[in-house]
Structure 1
């Protein structure tokens, strides 16, 4: 797997793991229905506590990115990630709120912020093969 954690980062390991798995799905590196490593296996492979992996997997399950089966193990949701609804859009807005506030404080213009977002969307779409 393509997981690359920064153990020196202020961002918790489980959050980094969540972000990297979601990024893998977004870029098409991990396909719907594809199996992910077991909690124990992934923890051993990247040298972290299995409770950290379990916490990340539980969050991803709760958000609809993965399914956890007793027999099949961990798989990316075969039906794909649930589409954005009003609750997701509200959550997105609350996450963007402090980023925009800090950007304004740091004199990042609305245009520059929008361009950064566009660049990231392009990056993800290119990583997915232009889909």
Structure 2
């Protein structure tokens, strides 16, 4: 998937949303499904408002290692949050954890079947610019 259209739509929603590019070497610690995205669309400062007025925050590459330590999630790699709840990728599928149970728990069924489907979900549910 090429990410140019995604970037344009997210930056259009809020001009404060900013992306950059990074080298292939910089993304070598990421799960494979995230590598191409971060090389082309590293979310420097991105908070996306959905139609239901919830927000998804995509984290920049330089914060991802610390994010793993902060959330202490074993069963996936966190790259975003939905209202503070971690969004992780595990075996190529995207999951959202349930907050408030004392420990992070994930539904047995994935939220979406792939990272690209996650981005498609965002675009489909993106709140129109005011």
Q: Given the two structures, how large is their TM-score scaled by the length of structure 1?
A: 0.23
Q: Taking CA–CA contacts closer than 8 Å with sequence separation of 6 or more, which of the two structures ends up with the larger relative contact order? A: 1
More strand per residue: 2
Q: Given the two structures, how large is their TM-score scaled by the length of structure 2?
A: 0.23
Structure of larger gyration radius: 1
More helix per residue: 1
